[in-house]
Structure 1
Amino acid sequence: MANEFDPVTLRHTLHQTPELSNHEALTARTIAAQLRQFGFHPATDVGGHGILVTIQGAAPGPTTLLRADFDALPIEEPGSLAYCSQHSGVMHACGHDGHTAALLAVAAELRHTPPARGTVLLAFQPAEETGEGAARMCESPALTNAQIDNVYAFHNLPGFSQHQIVVRPGTFACASTGVAIELYGKTSHAAYPERGISPASAMTGVLHTLTQLPDAYPDANSLVTLVHAQLGEPAYGVAPGQATVMATLRSDDNACFHAMKADLIDKVNTLAARAGLTVSVCWHEPFIAAENSTHHTQHVVNAAQSLGLAVHRLTEPMRWSEDVAEFLARWPGALFGIGSGEHHPQLHNPDYDFPDAILPTAKALFTALVAEHHGCITG
């Protein structure tokens, strides 16, 4: 294996041993061991279980960071694949195993043809699904003072033709966050509701506030999805004293996104105060919008066209989120998509599996981008 690297075999190995965000110790060891077989000296435990490889060119030049993620999801995988998950209740249902295998294929190429100039950083990132890993890697000592000129990452995209390259300057993927709002009053016997403090009216106000929140920001594409609501307990003899509302907020504009969050807190606090309630607002899995530079998006287009790959330009951002946005907020670059197939099973579904056919496409596009910025790569 030291001489011949098979990304498909590696991908299947990762697929068999998926690990949830912040628990990717085995996956990280597998990646680091492969990199060492290539002759690299990876930095490990970067921002958690993250791994960073520095490949120095012979001459001065720019610095380019290529990023892949490697955490999995809490989904039970059907046992239909020969290499299906061996970890009950966990599977690679988003293709991070494929993203990692593709970047390892780039590493295999770079060991033979290192950059002629500048520096290439290969970042293998944990905890993407929870929106934590990228920020932690960026804030780690290994990267906190780094001067990076170019950042590139890809996500496989079901619904697009295999090998099609999907691009968009500006926002490629939306900002999002989960929010849990807890309203605390006082329970009472249902025969004497006046002796308690019911959150029912305030809860109704919170639900209305959430559904109307995007209307205040007409210049952005924003969305609020109510995902859960509970008032009291299912007991006829008890007047409720607690309520829970959960929702997801999304926007294609980071400024709007932050304003929506602040606006929500103000309105919820006002509703709670009027009803004599205490309130708790907690944010979960926060992602900022992934914003591509026009310049780097064009680099992706140029590289794709040089390889004879079809390019699809999105007219609006993806509604899902990707925490590579944290890299892109600090350094210029582009997140792009590679089509997994028009009828390929959707992401985050138990019938999903990363299409091995696009691994060579991902490797070729990454290496073409490195060649454009650093020279020297062939094959």
Structure 2
Amino acid sequence: MANEFDPVTLRHTLHQTPELSNHEALTARTIAAQLRQFGFHPATDIGGHGILVTIQGTAPGPTTLLRADFDALPIEERGSQAYCSQHPGVMHACGHDGHTAALLAVAAELSHIPPARGTVLLAFQPAEETGEGAARMCESPEIANVQIDNVYAFHNLPGFNQHQIVVRPGTFACASTGVAIELYGKTSHAAYPERGISPASAMTGVMHTLTQLPDAYPDANRLVTLVHAQLGEPAYGVAPGQATVMATLRSDDNACFHAMKADLVDKANTLAARAGLTVNVSWHEPFIAAENSTHHTQHVVSAAQSLGLAVHRLTEPMRWSEDVAEFLARWPGALFGIGSGEHHPQLHNPDYDFPDAILPTAKAIFTALVAEHHGRGTD
């Protein structure tokens, strides 16, 4: 029965057996097995290890998709809880185990009290951390060919009071990407540097270009962070012939984000050509901005208020990224936050653990949104 499901136990099970993006086979099997226990027939291997459950109401109506992610991070856990990660160097440091447990709690309730009208889709998504999973699920025929009216997802947010619902119409989370700029010249003996082609000057030019790049776009929030640079090898007898610069680019505006990327490529090519170098620019872990519909943001506010939950309205977007943006770029909806605690350990830290106390809050707001769009059937 649905009321026998314990989301806390399930979350702890997932927390003990975390899997990296694109390797979530065991996690997917665990989720699918639980859904089958509820009486559902989940579609599996959607866009990788993704899972989709379709729940029909008895009358015609809209289609609402609720999404949770379930991949982990390459971080060594430093916790004292009994259910710490059993996989060395891998942990649920972002709370995706909690996001999944909350959506399974929703599934448990909907198996008992289905929607009265329309269709509810529950999407369990892999590979969020690398920015790949949502796009692949959206492009799968099981989802791409469906007319979806509403999309909702949440992320737990340390730094906000527990159970507080965090909203923002428009951009909720920024676009971001990693970029690696590789410059190739020719090595030579350090005594005869003129016989080689050093990328040193172009490398410093690339680094300067990156730090100055945001200045060209004053009408949007934008940020470039240099994360790594390497010139040649640590050998005193060799003049370098290769250099790499790595950075992350962020913006709250997708148009600005794409313009920054194009501008960077043009400038890198120009610097390389002037120095007689070849250049390779590659992009890693790309995310577009998560843009919320004003209408759906208000639905989240109304659901929160109906449950007596405090609502916090962000004045600017979260700087991090969330690939549920791919769903929101195709269909209207809202990504919102649920406070994990004002002093809760931060995301992507080795001491982080999803707070079980907010699982009922996440379930309640999801089910309130389903009831608002679809009504409630009978037990």
TM over 0.5: yes
1:16-39 CA-to-partner distances (Å, cap 9, x unmatched) read 000000000000000000000000
RMSD across aligned C-alpha pairs, in angstroms? 1.1
Q: Note the alpha carbon deviations across 1:231-258, whole angstroms, 9 max, x for none.
A: 1111111111000000000000000000
Per the normalisation by structure 1, the TM-score is 0.99
- Runs (4+) off by over 4 Å: none
Per-residue deviation at 1:78?
2.2
Q: Distance in 2 between matches of 1:90 and 1:2?
A: 31
Deviation at 1:357, TM superposition (A): 0.1
Per the alignment, do residues 378 and 59 of structure 1 end up closer, same or farther by CA in structure 2, a change over 3 Å counting?
A: closer
Q: d(CA) in 2 for partners of 1:37 and 1:270?
A: 60
Change in Cα spacing, 1:377 to 1:172, as seen in structure 2 (3 Å) is: farther
Uncovered stretches (5+) of structure 1, i.e. residues with no partner: none
2: distance between equivalents of 1:214 and 1:60? 49
C-alpha contact (below 8 Å) 1:367/1:377 kept by paired residues = no
How far apart are 1:81 and its partner, in Å?
A: 1.0
Tell me, in whole angstroms, the C-alpha distance in 2 between the residues paired with 1:378 and 1:342. 39
Q: CA deviation at 1:190?
A: 1.0
Contact 2:175–2:252 (Cα < 8 Å) also in 1: yes
Q: Is the 8 A contact 1:94 1:347 kept in 2?
A: yes
Structure 1 residues 151 and 2: CA distance shift in structure 2, 3 A: closer
Query: Per-residue CA shift, 1:114-149, capped at 9, x if unaligned?
Result: 111000000000000000000000001101111000
- Residue 80 of structure 1, CA deviation: 1.1
The 10-residue stretch of structure 1 (141-150 or 94-103) with the greater mean CA deviation from structure 2:
141-150
Deviations 1:80-136 (A, max 9, x none): 110010111100000000000000000000011111100000000000000000000
Alpha-carbon distance between aligned partners in 1 of 2:364 and 2:110, rounded to the nearest angstrom: 12
Cα shift at 1:191:
1.2
Shift of 1:350: 0.5
Residue by residue over 1:312-337, the C-alpha shift from the partner in whole angstroms, topping out at 9 and shown as x without a partner, is 00000000000000000000000000
Q: In 1, Cα distance between the equivalents of 2:89 and 2:44? A: 27
Q: Deviations over 1:289-323 (max 9, x none)?
A: 00000000000000000000000000000000000
Deviation, structure 1 residue 269: 0.4
With over 3 angstroms needed to count, the CA separation of the structure-2 counterparts of 1:378 and 1:257, relative to structure 1, is farther
Q: Is the 8 A contact 1:67 1:125 kept in 2?
A: yes
Cα separation, 1, equivalents of 2:378 and 2:77: 38
- Which sections of structure 2, spanning at least 5 residues, go unmatched? none
Retained in 1: the 8 A contact 2:52–2:121?
yes
Separation in structure 2 between the aligned mates of residue 145 and residue 3 of structure 1, nearest angstrom:
33
Q: Is the 8 A contact 2:16 2:87 kept in 1?
A: yes
Q: Is the 8 A contact 1:171 1:253 kept in 2?
A: yes
1:349-372 per-residue CA deviation (whole Å, 9 max, x = no partner) reads 010000000000000000000000
Alpha carbons of 1:233 and 1:36: their partners in 2 closer, same or farther (altered >3 Å)? Answer: same
Q: Secondary structure at 1:295's aligned position in 2?
A: helix
1:227 counterpart SS class: strand
Cα 1:359–1:378 change in 2 (3 A) is: farther
User: 1:76 and 1:330 mapped to 2: Cα distance?
Assistant: 36
Q: Secondary structure at the match of 1:228?
A: strand
Given that residues 173 and 319 in structure 1 are in contact (C-alpha distance below 8 angstroms), is that contact kept between their aligned partners in structure 2? Answer: yes
Q: 1:345 to 1:378 in 2, by over 3 A?
A: farther
TM-score if structure 2 supplies the norm length?
A: 0.99
* Aligned equivalents of 1:378, 1:198: Cα separation in 2: 73
CA–CA separation in structure 2 for the residues paired with 1:101 and 1:125: 13
Q: Deviations over 1:57-83 (max 9, x none)?
A: 000000000000000000111251100
The answer to whether the 8 Å contact 2:2/2:111 transfers is: no
